[in-house]
Chains A and B, each alone.
Chain A
Amino acid sequence: MEKNSLLWRRAAVIQAVRRFFHEHGYLEVETPLRLPSLIPEAYIEPEEASGWYLQTSPEICMKRLLAAGHPRLFQICKCFRRHERGARHLPEFTMLEWYRVEADYTDLMIECESLFAFLAEELQQPEVEVGEGRVGLAAPWERLTVAEAFCRFSPITLVESLDLGTFDETFSKHVEPKLGWQHPCLLHDYPAAMGALARLRPGNPEVAERFELYVGGLELANGFSELTDADEQRDRLLAAQANIRAQGRDPGPMPERFLLALHNLPSSAGIALGLDRLIMLFTGASCIDQVVTFTPDIL
């Protein structure tokens, strides 16, 4: 097969990502995919596996390692989320997650810029093609708060969408497609309720220190300053469990060992980036199916 085929280019992106993190002092880890309990999330449905669960993200084990004293960690692994299937979603997909102590979400935003600058250099692609558009990857990127993005692109404000309960729909329809066409866009400062594992802004409890990275309307990464208060985290997970029960689903057991580890979690920040989508970006693929070896439909 030609060396410019998508699978070769996929491998090249992954190798470049690994080089970046190795060069920046990150320890690469592998944590179990099958776990007895997960972080309950209102809108993520896990796959059961012989009474345990396949991970929806490696967050639990990564934070336990962070709490155990590893200051910089990254992992490339499979995650599983039931029913998520579309042009940008697969129920089994590859995630890149990294965590750093003594950092907050603004440090991670800068690190995203560094990672992309490194990839642009290694892959010799200073810009990427998305549909009809081309997006230059050079820093500094656009930084936009969620409230500002609603003002700019949506017919209703952020507060109105929250009052109406239509945040997700309004965001997907009006805001998301417009983000990150000049430069990649770092959308930050989410409403507090939308950062279940994020620290609230000191002095402003309305805002969660969470951001998302968008390029050409494609959501790539979700990062935040980690919440390190175990009691507050437990309250938020209980609320998520109640939400899941109200939807008629079983929230599963509370991840007690994760909550216990939070007592030792230093001030830190972490981010999850959809690696298949990153590869879509660097290969110009319009559908996630194009960048993986097999999709569930053809197995």
Chain B
Amino acid sequence: MYNASDLRKGLKIMMDGDPYIISEFEFNKPGKGQAHYRCKMRNLITGNSAERTYRSGDKFEPAPLEERNMQFLYSQGNEYHFMDTKDFEQFVVDAEHIGDSANFLVDNMEVDVLFFKGQPMDVTLPIFVNLTVTQADPWAKGDTSGTDTKPVTVQTGYILQVPPFVSEGDKIQIDTRTGAYVTRVK
């Protein structure tokens, strides 16, 4: 069982008999009052979103999902093709079930695909992925906005904030949990 304090983005729980993944999560606690956890979550079967507020003390059943290591082959329209690295069985997962992970998926990447009752439901990425910067503006010297970052686009089309020294063609490491820049890699 999970407790309310285990709730976080990406956690998979059972609710009303269906597996859900938490897509947005907000912790709130007024003054000396009781903590509560506002969660937006996605039904892994239907793709529908739901919003619930939980309190400290609430308990949750983990979603019974089977995890299989798979290689991402290619995507075509809304279909993402994967191959099991053990038995080479191929599966198609539709974009709805891929969600934001599409930002970090590149050909041949090994990922964990989650199955619920035999159906592929969701993709768990490696925590860190290396992607190539395809578009970056040169750093405007003397910019004193105080943020010390600039936006760049990587090969998947994803846009993120990076330090000013990152330039086009660089490979950068991204934390897939937060979508944030980690470091530049050789």
Contact = CB atoms under 8 A, between A and B. Distances in A.
Interface of A: 2, 4-6, 41-44, 82-89, 167-169, 171-173, 176, 194, 196, 212, 219, 222, 247
Contact of B146 (A2, A85, A167, A171): A2
Contacts of B27: 84-87, 89
Contacts of A43: 29, 32-35, 56
* 10 closest cross-chain pairs (CB), A and B: A86-B27, A168-B33, A83-B5, A168-B34, A43-B34, A172-B28, A172-B30, A171-B30, A4-B146, A168-B30
B144 A4 contact: yes
A168 B146 contact: no
A167 to B, nearest CB: 7
A28 to B, nearest CB: 25
B26 A86 contact: yes
A222 B32 contact: yes
Interface of B: 5, 26-36, 53, 55-57, 144, 146, 148
Contacts of B53: 169, 173
B8 to A, nearest CB: 9
B31 A212 contact: yes
A222 B31 CA distance: 7
A84 B144 CA distance: 33
Contacts of B30: 168, 171-172, 176, 219
B32 A196 contact: yes
A89 B26 CA distance: 11
Nearest to A196: B32
A2 B144 contact: yes
Most buried by A among B5, B31, B53, B55: B31
Nearest to B5: A83
B56 A5 contact: no
A6 B33 contact: no
B20 to A, nearest CB: 20
A28 B26 CA distance: 36
A228 to B, nearest CB: 19
B32 A44 contact: yes
Most buried by B among A41, A43, A222: A43
A119 B35 CA distance: 31
Contact of B33 (A84, A167, A173): A167
A86 B28 contact: yes
A194 to B, nearest CB: 7
Nearest to B28: A172
A255 to B, nearest CB: 17
